[in-house]
């Protein structure tokens, strides 16, 4: 087997037994990036020298017997988590040359675990988008079909994992931005419970919805990465001081006694591609064959989730993005002698069209006379959506559904039609509104070879249940060995 | 149209954005379409429903007011587009 094709679990075993070194593994991953990223476009920054230094340090730790499951493992990071001394752009011209003076908590934790950070991955600018076409720098292509989107906004992370350009990656998820690209690229991704992972050093999009999580080649790999980054952080006042179990200890003893909820509103959703529906139905049968009991549940306010989300998220974004004023960091239009004109010109030149669209939408929704009708109303609907899930979880341990209504579509198809792009988030963004965890695991393949994912959602802080269901489904379906052909 | 061109210009000005004429039209159309869709929220009776601003209810996170782990001023200024004598430089205000 080629080294870059290894999972974290496999590579960890080989590293521990000294059958391979981190230097060899990191070199193989860098060579893979060199060979295929010209076609895929997943990386915005590759830190080859830094990665080799980290690999050498990891090999010393391994030699000293102080290794953990991520020691020496080459990883990619979505380019909105601050990496000290390594450019962090958020895929925006406004942060094109920003070099953070500190590490995000997740980065500090990965470094403490001995992971090797290979580089920074492309995304929709400020994580606003579902296609990664809204990057200020480059389009990322789906490794399974280079004419298709990889999904987004963590499209670079998903594409890099699928194309073996890292062993695992971190992404962020505000409305589906980990789960949807994971589904489109045939990898596993989990959005943990809101508050499970520190957001300190994550460039903010919508602070009440944003959550960092891993994307990996297997369910176990995602659990290993989540183990390294989860837990309370005093630097993030919304991180929750809940005990953190060892996620990688996944129960694989069948699903007897587990009740799975199937939301009737999702099954009946408009625009659901029949192939996606069939793959999800087949996955449900497999889950039942493992001993789980399936019941129909209802999430009655599903039809309003997209509308509520596209008020709340842009409102929070318009406030969060006020900090980009050309003064403290980032781009400034230096031609302007007047302060107000400097702000306006800097922001209009620095932000791309999708970001400006959302700032306008959010500012409008928060402006005098409209606040109650838009933000106030959406926040009430959010309460109803949260209650829908609470009632559903009284009857089941996990909810399964599609991740996206269709397999990955063509590049350019929704560029001038933002509403259609927004509507494709229907199955994922409720989890962000309710703060519950959601995971995407490959469950099928379309007629033209595109991956299809299954979403598993659970109660607050019960990621363990998601891993348990997904890991056993993954073992039955066994499609993770399929590789895209990029030669 | 749900949002007029004047409203787009007003909101853009509040948000410190400068939008040229071609874009005003495009943004008004796109944002208008989105707002039309958002109007579906009006169908839901939310009388007496409390608002949720955060999904996980947390009490205030207090800590002692101690100085620790601060950024070095040089590091804090390292990304500034313009700086002088340990301060950020902005265009003349008065």
When the pLDDT of each residue in chain A is averaged and rounded to a whole number, the result is 96
Q: Look at B76 and A325 and tell me if their CB atoms are within 8 Å.
A: no
pLDDT exceeds cutoff 80 at A479: no
Least confident of A156-160, A327-331, A362-366, B19-23: B19-23
Residues of B (4-33) whose Cβ lies below 8 Å from A? 7-8, 11-19, 23, 27, 30-31, 33
Mean pLDDT in residue range B31-58: 92
Taking domain A3-253, whether its CATH number is 3.90.1300.10 is answered by yes
Which residues have a Cβ under 8 Å from the Cβ of A91 and sit 6 or more positions away? A44, A79, A80, A122, A123, A124, A125, A126, A134, A135, A136, A137
Task: Answer whether residue B23 is part of any domain.
Answer: yes
CATH code, domain carrying B18: 1.10.20.60
Domain hosting B2: range is 1-59
For residue A226, give how far its alpha carbon lies from the nearest alpha carbon of chain B (Å): 19
The answer to whether position B88 is within a domain reads: no
Q: How confident is the model at residue B2 (pLDDT cuts 50, 70, 90)?
A: confident
Q: How many CB atoms lie within 10 A of CB A478?
A: 9
A177 as an active site residue: the answer is yes
Residue B90 placed within a domain: no
pLDDT in tens, A254-277: 999 999 999 999 987 878 999 999
pLDDT computed for residue A487 by the predictor: 81
**In chain A, which residues have their Cβ closer than 8 Å to the Cβ of B76?**
101
- pLDDT of res. A352: 96
Partner-chain contact A344 B18, CB within 8 Å? yes
CA-angle at A423, arms to A402 and A482, nearest 5°: 40
Lowest mean pLDDT among A6-15, A163-172, A201-210, B30-39: B30-39
Please give the pLDDT value at position B1: 57
Q: Are A192 and A304 in contact (CB under 8 A)?
A: no
Domain boundaries, chain A: 3-253, 322-378
Q: Which of residues 207-226 of A touch B (CB under 8 A)?
A: 208
- Predicted ipTM? 0.95
Number of domains observed in the structure of chain B: 1
- The reported pTM is 0.97
pLDDT above 80: residue A480: no
Is B92 a domain residue? no
Q: In which band, very low, low, confident or very high, does the pLDDT at A418 lie, cut at 50, 70 and 90? A: confident
Query: Across residues A66-87, what is the average pLDDT?
Result: 97
> How far apart are the CA of A189 and the nearest CA of chain B, in angstroms?
21
A207 is catalytic: no
B81 belongs to a structural domain = no
Of A344, A378, A381, the CB nearest to B16: A344
- Tally C-beta pairs within 8 A across A and B: 170
Cβ contact B79–A307 (<8 Å): no
Catalytic residue among A177, A183, A239, A401: A177
| pLDDT band at A290; cut points 50, 70, 90 | very high
Nearest-Cα distance to chain B for A114, in Å, is 23
In a domain, B91, yes or no: no
Among this protein's residues, is A218 annotated catalytic?
no
Read off the pLDDT band of B21 (50, 70, 90).
Answer: confident
- How much is the average pLDDT of A150-162? 98
Segment A332-386, tens digit of pLDDT: 999 999 999 999 999 999 999 999 999 999 999 999 889 999 999 999 999 999 9
């Amino acid at each position: 087997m080629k080294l870059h094709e290894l999972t974290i679990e496999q590579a960890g075993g080989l590293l521990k037994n000294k059958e391979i070194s981190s230097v060899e593994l990191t070199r193989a991953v860098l060579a893979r990036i060199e060979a295929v990223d010209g076609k895929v476009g997943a990386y915005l920054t590759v830190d080859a020298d830094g990665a080799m230094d980290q690999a050498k340090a990891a090999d010393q730790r391994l030699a000293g017997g102080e290794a953990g499951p991520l020691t020496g493992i080459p990883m990619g990071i979505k380019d909105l988590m601050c990496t000290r001394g390594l450019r962090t752009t958020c895929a925006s011209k406004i942060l094109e040359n920003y070099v953070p003076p500190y590490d995000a908590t997740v980065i500090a934790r990965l470094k403490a675990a001995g992971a090797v950070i290979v580089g920074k991955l492309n995304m929709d600018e400020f994580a606003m988008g579902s296609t990664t076409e809204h990057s200020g720098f480059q389009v990322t292509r789906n490794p399974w079909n280079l004419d298709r989107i990889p999904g987004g906004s963590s499209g670079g992370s998903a594409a890099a994992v699928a194309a073996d350009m890292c062993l695992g990656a971190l992404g962020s998820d505000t409305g589906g931005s980990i789960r949807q690209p994971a589904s489109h690229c045939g990898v596993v991704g989990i959005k943990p419970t809101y508050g499970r992972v520190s957001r300190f050093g994550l460039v903010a999009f919508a602070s009440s919805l944003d959550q960092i999580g891993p994307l990996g080649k297997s369910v176990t790999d995602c659990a290993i990465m989540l183990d390294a980054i989860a837990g309370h952080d005093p630097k993030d006042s919304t991180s929750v001081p809940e005990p953190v179990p060892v996620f990688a200890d996944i129960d694989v003893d069948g699903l007897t006694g587990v009740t799975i909820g199937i939301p009737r509103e999702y099954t009946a959703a408009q625009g659901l591609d029949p192939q996606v529906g069939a793959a999800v139905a087949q996955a449900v049968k497999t889950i039942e064959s493992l001993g789980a009991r399936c019941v129909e549940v209802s999430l009655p306010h599903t039809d309003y989730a997209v509308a509520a989300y596209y008020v709340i998220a842009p409102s929070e974004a318009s406030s969060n993005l006020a900090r980009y004023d050309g003064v403290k960091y980032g781009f400034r239009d230096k031609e302007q002698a007047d302060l107000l004109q400097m702000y306006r010109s800097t922001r209009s030149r620095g932000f791309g069209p999708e970001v400006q669209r959302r700032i306008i939408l959010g500012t409008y929704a928060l402006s005098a006379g409209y606040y109650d009708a838009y933000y106030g109303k959406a926040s009430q609907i959010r309460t109803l959506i949260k209650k829908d899930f609470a009632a559903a979880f009284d009857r089941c341990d996990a909810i399964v559904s599609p991740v996206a209504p269709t397999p990955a579509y063509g590049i350019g198809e929704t560029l001038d039609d933002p509403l259609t792009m927004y509507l494709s988030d229907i199955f994922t963004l409720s989890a962000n509104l309710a703060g519950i965890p959601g995971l995407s695991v490959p469950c099928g393949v379309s007629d033209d070879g595109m991956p299809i994912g299954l979403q598993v959602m659970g109660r607050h802080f019960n990621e363990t249940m998601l891993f348990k269901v997904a890991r056993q489904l993954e073992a039955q379906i066994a499609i993770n060995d399929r590789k895209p052909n990029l030669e | 149209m749900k949002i007029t061109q004047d409203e787009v210009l007003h909101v853009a000005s509040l948000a410190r954005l400068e939008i040229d004429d071609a874009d005003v039209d495009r943004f008004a159309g796109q944002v208008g379409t989105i707002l039309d869709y958002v109007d579906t929220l009006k169908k839901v009776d939310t009388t007496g429903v409390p608002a949720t601003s955060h999904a996980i209810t947390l009490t205030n996170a207090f800590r002692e007011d101690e100085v620790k782990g601060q950024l070095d001023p040089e590091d804090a200024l390292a990304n500034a587009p313009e700086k002088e004598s340990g301060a950020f430089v902005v265009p003349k205000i008065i």
